[in-house]
Each structure stands twice: as C-alpha cells, then as structure tokens.
Structure 1
C-alpha cells in the first residue's frame, strides 16, 4: 500500500508568499510502507551542492531495529526545513531505497539597505540575522524586516515601512535588499488626564516626562511617542500623589491610540485619586533585642499632623535600615504598615524593625553597560558581594543609578543563588548619550548680548567623570572656564572638582572701569544626609582693574594719564561726565578717574587666596522648576591664606516655595550678608557687596548702596559691607496657553538695603578724600510683575518693576530681561 502525504504548512507558505510573491513552494511527498520501512543506510541524496550528503542523512533517526518508519521520516523532513538551508525537500521510496531530493536555498552575496538616513548601515547590519555568504531563509528575511522596523519604532518612527527584495544572481546567488521608508517621527498630539480632581491636569503635565508636540518640539525629544516612557509616567503620577497624601491613589491605565488624521498618538491617563490623608500617629517598634526603637525616631522624615508622604516614609525606612546596620544588625528589616481612618482621613503608621531572613549577596551582575565601567555602577551600592542582602539598600542603589542620568533605563532584579541563603543581584541597564555640545546665546540688560560655546561630558570615558569646557564672548562680559569633577574621590562618596577660569567685565553704563579675573578653584562636596550637603572650596585668583588706555590727556592735561578713563556715552550721560575733552575722549570734571578707582589702579593687580564652605539644605520637589519645599544656603569665605587680601565674607539665602492653591505657587525669599576685614587691614572697594536687581528689582545693576559723590554728582557705586533683602512672589500659569509653551506670570514685592562702605576714602599721594553718600541703611522697595519662560534655550525672565522707595543717588531700571547661558 502506498501512502501519499503533502507537506505544506499554511503559516510557512503564507510568510514566504508575503516576502516573495513570485516564489512558489513545491509540494513535498514521500511514500513509505510500514511493512517495508527503509533503513538509514539505504538513503540516497540528490540535488545537493553545498551541503554534504552525510549531513542530510544525519537528520534521519532510525527507530527500533534500525528501521525508518513514517514518524521518523516526518521528523527528518521537519528538521531539514528548520535548518533554513533548503528551499524544497522531496522524500520518495524507490525500490529498496529512500530518495531525498533537495533544492538548496540561494547564497546571499550582499545585504543592502536602501532609504535609511536616520539609522546607519552598520547598526542595521548588526541587528539582522541574514548575512553575506549565508543561506537565504525566507522566514529569517521576514523576521529581519520586522526587526528593522522595531529599531525605527524605538526612535519614534511608527510610519516606517520595510520591504525586502531579492535579486537573483548567477550560480544560485542572490542580493538581499531591504527597501526602507523611514517616515516621520510619530509625535504625541495630546495628553489627557481622566479622574483627577485634587490635582490639575496642568500640574500633572509637569510631573510626567512625555510632552505634547508643539512648534518648538524639534529642540527636544519628549514629544516622541515612547511606550516605555508612558509606562514610566504612570509610576511618576502615582508617586506624586503618594507624596502629597493620597495613599489610595491608582493610575488605572495609560491608554494610547494612534490618530491617522492627526498622524500622532493620543495618550490618556486614568486616575482614581481617593482622599488626602494626614498622619494620625506614628510609632517605631523593634523586635530585635538590644535595638531601642526610640533611638531610631530621629530618622523619621514626617511627624504627626503632617500630610502623608510616601516618599518620606521610603527615606525613613532607608535611613533606619542603614543606622541599624551600622550598629551591627546587618539583617534588620524595617517594614512600614499603615492603618487608614477613613472618617478622620488619617493614617496611623507603624515602622516595625525585625530580624530579616539571613540571606547574603552571592554576586552582583551588571548587564547592558557597554561603555560605563563596572565599578562606576557598583559603587552606587551600599552593599557588596558577601554582605547581608537588604531590599531597602538595593532600592536606594536603583534610585542613585537613575539619578546619574547615564542610563535610559535601570532595572534591578534578584535571582536565586547557589544555595537557599544566597541571592544574585542583577542590574539591567540601557545606556544613553551623555555628551553635550551647545552653542547658545542670550541677552540681559546688565551684560548685553552674549554667546557661549561649550562641550560637556557627564560620563567621561565611562569613568563617571564630569568635564566641561566653555568659552563666552559678550558685549560686556567675556571669558572661559574649564571644569572637571570626580564624584567619588579616592573611593569615597565625596565629589572633588577643579575649575580654571577667566572673566573679563568691560566698562558699561553701570561701571566706568574694567576688571579681569583669572584663577582656579578646587572644591569638595559631600552629603551629610539626603537633604543636607556641604561643599568645601579653595580659590586663588588674580584680579586687575584698568581704564581705557587710549586716553592720553584730558581738559587739564593730567600728568598721570593712566588714572584717566574713557567712559561710554551712556555712562557719561548718567554720571555727568564731560565728553568734550581733547582727542574726543572724556574725563570727569577734574580730568581724573573716581578716587576709589584710582586707588585700585595704583595698587596694581591683586592676588586673592581664600577658603570657604557652603552648607545647603534642600527639600525642593524640583530643582529646575520648584513648586514646594525649602532651599537654604549658607556661604562663608575667608581670604588671607597668602595673597594680598584679608576678609571674612558671610551670606545666607533662603527660599520657600508653597502651592497656595491650584497651580498658583507662592515664593518667599530672604537674604543677608556681611563682610569684614581681617588682621587690622581694610577692605578694597572690589571686596564689598555690589547690589541691584539681585536684591531689589526695579534698580539697575550696582544701582543701590553707597556711591562716590565727590564731584557733586553720583559717580561709581562703592558697595557695602552689609545687606539684607526680602521678597514675596506669586507665580501662576497662563491657563489660556498650552502647558508645553512653558510660560507663566509672576507678581512680586521686594524690599532691602545695602550699606556701610568701609573701603579706602583717602588718597595719600594727592591728599584727596572721597565723599561717600547713602552709607546708612536706606530702605529700598519695589513692586512689579514678570513673565517666566522655561524655554528650550534655558530659563528666560522678563520683569517690569517700579521702585516705591529709594535713595537720592540710586539708579533705577524698571525693565529687566535676562536669559541664555552664563557661568
């Protein structure tokens, strides 16, 4: 009896016909008689050119007794097709033999990519499995086409089309061509929030990373649809609600829909907020003998009556875990639990400190870091191989790795170790570009037009070093800076940095002289705790004061012409200077520079050697665009470790941000400073504080404080040794504009004072003295409004302020605009 069987697999045929419509698959038939099954030794192979006959025979596995039954022949047929080496296989019994007739797949001569502009050939070649000198496999070609399309989708190009073409060549060879139509990037056209009542959609758009497409989107990539980013946004929304007291929040879904009409994605987040809770009670309990729970209470980040904060609880758990480990309880585990009181909208929190399972870290495996060195990643862990495993410390390491901004994604998983008490930590990473090259520009009313070219690398050579070189050239300010920072100096969590800089301040309508400062500084920065940091620094710089060298004589033929200067017309008009002198150059009425400037010039260049520190307390929710939290900075510098200058300078600046209601944010700011000479020496004029709109808006740069009025009119600002200032501001969005515009308005009131000039007032060589005006604590105040723009070019701000209290010799400037990159 002859049994005929046609081996046509529908899925395979459909795939092949989809790739090559002109290709056909020949039916494969074999006939076998159960009563007269063939043996492996009787197999005859025909049609093979490159594949050895014995290789083909090896796929036929005889059953019991060395005979090939129909099942064995079916398995061999399937295996031969799965090799991808054959286009057609026929198995037929002839007499006492089994004849296997094969048609080999063509050999690929070349793999060619056409139409790709955004992705290089080299990257595509590494992704596809079809290779030159390999056999052509239709299913593999189809898989390669899908893989190429996925590469483009990861870049936000969902309109990509990849069509493979096969060009036959002599000697059973082919050229494989992938014709690629890249399409445009697929943007997010709208972002909607459903179910949010307590938090506005405007505010939630600040929380997430995905952005709506707008006319400035070409400057960034946040509007390009990325499913991974959308999923991460769900977690950001959830964490934001938990941080603000909504313990029952659920981000039910993040729905995405492609709109062909708008050629973009519509993203909708569905949220169930629940109610806001406050902390009803908080307790720390310990089941570990010898570990007093009350000794851990200082590490709590929230108190009774405060709004429930999930992030603060996480940090409390981390710090308590670290403290317990320091005391010798390596396996201590801190677990928070809460009991909600729905009636009172409170949560009773209990932090239980228990002895955790005795599990050790067997290995830490790092995967995906093709550029970043292993040690850069491992040093972010507070645990090492062989230490006790602690989940809280692993979570802290994951957060630190994300904050490095070296990686697109960071995931830390655990796998079973070689024994039940061992665990393997697996760190999966996806790196991203960490280099920046920028050409930026800006304008400010104090410095005029300015431009900057900079190149920076956050992860130099994969070692974690930060390096930046910048050159600035402006209308009134010029200079350069070179910086390098090692975040883990000598293996400790201490950031060490060195800066080399030069800054040249040219004469303007605000100052009549030029200063040139060249030097370097070194600094060490470290965290005392999560919200408290300290920076130590040392600076050595040379400062030189000069006036315009073109001036050779003035109205009275001044003998020492180096003390004269050539003011700008604006400065001359503002200061009552006669510009009708010889050579068309201007002089003061008596032909000389202002007396404090003459004293600085006579002393020549001055070296300053100073040490100092900055203590910063930061609880801001966002350092770039804060809406809640406190930032306090205390700075002190002592000059006199060598050099020509000796002083102690202290300054404090505190800013408090609070959401008043809805999207309106209140900002309170207070600042003060004091400088005094050391060792019995006096202060130079340039060592004094110089204030203007940085203290009270509505005044010109160096527009307030003591001034030289020796000639009867206000001349150069001399500065003061003490200042204070306070301001209150309300910032609110323009609700009629799209969030992506980045615009919001502000109204404010400022008040402050600068006083007590203690610099030189007598010039011994000439017997002259300077007449100082406004040396008492005169109050200045102003009210105004402004526009804040978080632009793609950096933050820009426009202010219009009206002084309501000022001194008789102050300089006002009601409009102020600042922006661009500065250093």
Structure 2
C-alpha cells in the first residue's frame, strides 16, 4: 500500500506530536524554558525527503533505522548503547526512550543535558542521543589517612581517572574505602568530605576515628590499673575493633569477670573523636573446693583446695590443692598399690612490677606409687619460679625461663615382687641388685631452662582454629645424690581446622629427647596413658630416652545439647581420635616388662569444660598394635587439660 500526500501529512503531524510530547517529559527537574532549550528540536522535513517516503508504509516511517551517540569524548559509545532498551528495527516509543535517557543519566558520567533527537530519513527515523560529559577526573588527593596507606586507597579509585566524574562510582568507592578500613578493624573510619578542583582533581578527606579517652566501669573489687594494663588500645590512636576484642578476650580470660564489653560514643567536645568505655561484670573469684572422684592412676580420691583468680583485686592468681587417693584402681603388676598423697600451691603475678613480664611460683610435694620405676615409691618435693614475657616483634609468641629446685627420693615399694620379676626373666641376683640400684637412683637438683610458646588459638577452652606450638629445654644439675646431671629438650605443635560452625579437626605432634647425659629412670620419658597414647595404661608402651608421637582428632558438639540452659554443658564436645607414638633408646624397664616401645590406638571420648579447672577428658582407646603385657581390650582414661 502506497502513501498519498494526505497520508504523508498525517504522518508528519503524528510524528511532530510524538516528539513534542516526548521531549516535554524527559527531565522533570528542568523548567519549561530549559526543556525547550535542551530537549525539543523538531525539524521540518523537506520535500526531497517526502518523495522518498512514497513507497514506505506508516510502520516503516516510524521505525528507528539508526541510533547515534553525540557529545561523548571519554565514555565509549557502545557502553552508552548498551543502556538502551530501544533498538534499531523497533518502532519509535517515547516512553521507552525516556526511560533510556534516565538509564544513561544513571551511568553517572553525564550532566542532565541529555537529549533524544529523532530525525526523519528516507528509510525511517534516525535517533540521535546527545550527551554532555561531566568534568574529567585527572587525579585524587587523599588526606587524613595514617593507618592505611594512600596506595591502598588509591587502588580503589584509580579506575576512575581519565573518565568523567561519576557520582555513582565515587559513592561506591567511598563504601569500598570504608570497607577497607573496617576489614582491618578500623570500624569508625569515615570519608568526611569530598570536593573537586577546577583542574579535575578530587579531594577526599578521611576521619579515621581516634580515641579521645578510655574509661572503666562496673568494677568494685578489681583495681582500675589491673583492667587497664590488659588494654593495649591507647588514647590518641585510631580505634581498632580487632585489637580491642583481643584485649577484652584477655580480660575475660583472667576469669575475674562474668562478662566484658565495650561501649563507643562520640566525644561531645570533638565529634571526630570517640570515648571508649570498658564495662565489666565482676564475679566471685575466691572459692573453697571439696571434691572427689575416680582416676585411673590414683583410684578413688578426695581433694580439698582454695583458688582465687583475682587475689586482692590485683588480678593475681592463688591456688592450693591437697589430694589423697585410694591407690591403683585396676590390678597392675608393675605399680605398687599405695594411697597417693599430693599437695600443690601456685601463685601467678601476670604483670610483674607493672611490666609485660609474668611470674609463676609453684611449690609441690608428692608421695605416690611410681609409674616410672616398676614397683617403686616416688617421693618428690620442691618449687619452681617461671618468668615469661610476650615477644612484641612476633605476635602471639612468648618466651619464658624457669628456675627451680627439686628433691627426688626413690625407694622400694614391693621388694619381693620385683625380685620375683627379675628371677622370672632369668636375671642373676648380682645383676638384679646392680640394676635395681640403678633404677632407684635419685637426688637433689637445681633446674634451669628456657621455653617459647606460639599460640593463635581462638579459644583456650574450646578452640576451633589456630596454631599452638611450644619448645623447651630444661637442664637438671645434680646437687647431691647418685643419678647424675641430665638435660631434656622437647617440642610440640597442634593445628586446629574449623569444620562447620562449631566442629574442629585437630592434627598434632610432639617429640622429645635427652640432650645432656642419660636420663635416670625417674626422669625417663614414658608412653601410654591419657596424656600420650590413649587406650594403653599409664606407661604400658614403655620408657625411653626420647619419643615421638602424633594424634588426629575430630571434635564436635553433642546433638541437641545447644538447647540446654547451662553454657558449660553446651560446650561439651564428643571426640574421635587416633594416636600413635614410638620410643627412642628404651630403658631396661621396657624390656623387663616386655613393653612394645611403640603403639597405635583409636577411640572416642568426651571433653567437658569445667569452670576454673579447664577441659576434663574422658576417653576410651583401643590399641591396634602389640600391647606387650598390657590390656588388649583397651582402656578408659581420665585427664585434665590439653594432652600436650
């Protein structure tokens, strides 16, 4: 169907109306005069063009055949075209084009002077999108940053250089800058002011959030200086949430408080600075304990003790404990059935003379059946002072040195029993007398040794991730006696891998050896029992001058226990483990009792956190290697604290 002239004039009138109505609705922010100046541009179609339309339909006449972008210098035209919903080949639609202009404006690179100018051509409509770019960005000037380098901040901004100023991109960059600070713990940092220079440089002024004052509240017994010495954040420095969290965890770890928290408020004198208040809820720290239970080493036992984790409100720790047992719980032909008596007292000053040095004083006395010397009785008493200090240059690393004195006396517990054992193994009386005297050697010793500990665990009671490594050396100088001077060196490492939210996979290992002289029987390393290879009785793998052992363990919460009211019950963990270890340079006792010298076991157990005591373990292990004269059906073990 061909157009006649009347139809062509109708098309012109309709097109003029559409263009006029479209341009009047482009940007509501402009005045009518501005709209006419910016958006309305309807040109007459000359007669030459009219003739070209004679063979076109109405639909062809209002179909967009070409789209042009005018006015862009720095922004790629294709990026603008990608924002258009109107395409070549579609009919002219004023509402759709109006939305397209809004989309172009939202790109952020242009002023509001955006126009859509349709032009009638021989083939249809050529649509020209006219834009005006913002002032180009020539660079950025960042001020007010101290804890985050300018290079790190500029990396978030450099992609805008050489392009027109873009408010959207700049706002996103502001969020990225504040997130960069927050990820490093500087949660109070804000972009305070933005301005631009005539030459295109954008100025960004930061307020990193400095601390104006630190206050303490809630403490009645604990002295302020005891709390403050555990707080490493300081007035005048930029507030760091991660650093304060470590401080609060350290405060909570003193066990003097039931809760520790922080409150942040803007300073009324200077809104660019902040007041930090550390609020504490003190708990009763002194306690007298009376208890009893059952232990694989001491049998049924009773204990009485006193402990105060905030002695005199000075953050010091004082504890004493006296323990008496019934003797070996299970029949053991190499351990005397003797009621053990044990006493221990500890005093800890975490900040000696208000320095970072800590001091631990320990006094002890033990009269027990020996697990080191078969059928022997072991009496020890002495004391030790240990001084420790964090090493500032390496976070989470601390060094220590200990000095002590100890008297060790060994005596026969069952002379007839040990004599019979020697005879059963075919040894002569002369050899027995000589070897037994060697086994019962003791003496008085001065001990001295350094140690280091590296600990990044996220919790002491129930760690789910982090490392814990230690190494120590201790030299025992004989003052009197017949066992001789000897030295020991040891190292241990554990790695915790989080599994899900609360479960943990643990891999660990330990190695130790003599370093100076031969270890007397009472000081030899032994394997087997709750603190080494579970599933074996204490010492059932044997004794030696050195050892190596490893463990893997999976710990997970008890199902449905999270519904229980008491937190320490919710913290109970089920454990599934595998242990392995071997001895170096086995002692005579290992051969006398046909102990294997190595062992591998698997098993499971429970880890129960007890307030003011630590994790208590109940494990059942099953040996999968030779047990020698030990229990082939496995063994239950009980232990307090981590194994090593």
Q: Sort the TM-score into its range (normalised by shorter chain).
A: 0.5 to 0.7
1:435 correspondence with 2:286: yes
**CA offsets, 1:222-269, max 9 Å, x none?**
xxxxxxxxxxxxxxxxxxxxxxxxxxxxxxxxxxxxxxxxxxxxxxxx
Gaps of 5+ in 2: 1-140, 153-179, 192-203, 328-339
Alignment-derived partner of residue 803 in structure 1: 623
TM-score by length of structure 1 reads 0.45
Contact 2:148/2:181 (CA < 8 Å) preserved in 1? Answer: no
Which shows bigger deviation, 616-625 or 588-597?
Answer: 588-597
CA distance, structure 2, for counterparts of residue 639 and residue 286 of structure 1: 61
> Matched residue of 1:371: which SS?
coil
Deviation at 1:738, TM superposition (A): 6.8
Alignment-derived partner of residue 818 in structure 1: 638
Which shows bigger deviation, 651-660 or 510-519?
Answer: 651-660
Alignment-derived partner of residue 514 in structure 1: 377
1:692 correspondence with 2:528: yes
CA distance, structure 1, for counterparts of residue 291 and residue 151 of structure 2: 52
Q: 1:783 aligns with which of 602, 626, 638?
A: 602
CA distance, structure 2, for counterparts of residue 649 and residue 380 of structure 1: 34
Deviation at 1:751, TM superposition (A): 2.2
Deviation at 1:684, TM superposition (A): 1.7
> Matched residue of 1:376: which SS?
helix
Deviation at 1:737, TM superposition (A): 6.6
Q: Structure 1 residues 419 and 668, CA, compared in 2 at 3 Å: closer, same or farther?
A: closer
Q: Structure 1 residues 432 and 461, CA, compared in 2 at 3 Å: closer, same or farther?
A: same
CA distance, structure 2, for counterparts of residue 431 and residue 380 of structure 1: 15
Contact 2:599/2:625 (CA < 8 Å) preserved in 1? Answer: yes
CA distance, structure 2, for counterparts of residue 333 and residue 492 of structure 1: 30
**CA offsets, 1:60-109, max 9 Å, x none?**
xxxxxxxxxxxxxxxxxxxxxxxxxxxxxxxxxxxxxxxxxxxxxxxxxx
Gaps of 5+ in 1: 1-284, 297-312, 322-331, 337-352, 549-563, 579-587, 706-718, 762-769
Contact 1:447/1:474 (CA < 8 Å) preserved in 2? Answer: yes
1:668 correspondence with 2:507: yes
1:489 correspondence with 2:356: no
Deviation at 1:425, TM superposition (A): 4.9
Contact 1:755/1:775 (CA < 8 Å) preserved in 2? Answer: no
- Correspondence list, 1:416-435, <5 A: 416=267, 425-435=276-286
> Matched residue of 2:226: which SS?
helix
CA distance, structure 2, for counterparts of residue 797 and residue 775 of structure 1: 29
CA distance, structure 1, for counterparts of residue 629 and residue 525 of structure 2: 17
RMSD: 4.7
Alignment-derived partner of residue 215 in structure 1: none
Deviation at 1:415, TM superposition (A): 6.2
Contact 2:586/2:597 (CA < 8 Å) preserved in 1? Answer: no
Q: Structure 1 residues 421 and 745, CA, compared in 2 at 3 Å: closer, same or farther?
A: closer
Contact 2:248/2:260 (CA < 8 Å) preserved in 1? Answer: no
Alignment-derived partner of residue 445 in structure 1: 296
- Correspondence list, 1:282-681, <5 A: 293=149, 317=184, 356=207, 361=212, 364-382=214-232, 387=236, 390=239, 397-407=247-257, 408-414=259-265, 416=267, 425-476=276-327, 477-506=340-369, 511-528=374-391, 529-548=394-413, 565=415, 567=417, 575=421, 590=429, 595-599=434-438, 601=440, 605-640=442-477, 645-660=484-499, 665-678=504-517
CA distance, structure 2, for counterparts of residue 434 and residue 384 of structure 1: 28
CA distance, structure 1, for counterparts of residue 247 and residue 501 of structure 2: 34
Choose 1 or 2 for highest CA Rg.
2
CA distance, structure 1, for counterparts of residue 190 and residue 470 of structure 2: 34
> Matched residue of 1:599: which SS?
helix
Deviation at 1:520, TM superposition (A): 0.8
Alignment-derived partner of residue 728 in structure 1: 552
Deviation at 1:518, TM superposition (A): 0.8
Q: Structure 1 residues 314 and 447, CA, compared in 2 at 3 Å: closer, same or farther?
A: farther
Deviation at 1:384, TM superposition (A): 5.8
> How many residues end up aligned between the 2 structures?
439
Contact 1:778/1:807 (CA < 8 Å) preserved in 2? Answer: no
Alignment-derived partner of residue 232 in structure 1: none
CA distance, structure 2, for counterparts of residue 736 and residue 369 of structure 1: 36
> Matched residue of 1:370: which SS?
coil
Which shows bigger deviation, 364-373 or 748-757?
Answer: 364-373
Contact 1:401/1:410 (CA < 8 Å) preserved in 2? Answer: no
Deviation at 1:426, TM superposition (A): 4.3
Alignment-derived partner of residue 242 in structure 1: none
Deviation at 1:730, TM superposition (A): 3.3
Q: Structure 1 residues 700 and 593, CA, compared in 2 at 3 Å: closer, same or farther?
A: farther
Contact 2:320/2:346 (CA < 8 Å) preserved in 1? Answer: yes
Contact 1:756/1:776 (CA < 8 Å) preserved in 2? Answer: no
Q: Structure 1 residues 467 and 595, CA, compared in 2 at 3 Å: closer, same or farther?
A: same
Q: Structure 1 residues 414 and 470, CA, compared in 2 at 3 Å: closer, same or farther?
A: same
Deviation at 1:663, TM superposition (A): 6.3
Alignment-derived partner of residue 755 in structure 1: 584
Deviation at 1:396, TM superposition (A): 5.5
Contact 2:534/2:637 (CA < 8 Å) preserved in 1? Answer: no
> Matched residue of 2:461: which SS?
coil
> Matched residue of 1:651: which SS?
strand
CA distance, structure 1, for counterparts of residue 144 and residue 251 of structure 2: 32
**CA offsets, 1:751-788, max 9 Å, x none?**
22113047xx8xxxxxxxx9956999954223334455
CA distance, structure 1, for counterparts of residue 461 and residue 633 of structure 2: 27
TM-score by length of structure 2 reads 0.56
CA distance, structure 1, for counterparts of residue 422 and residue 471 of structure 2: 40
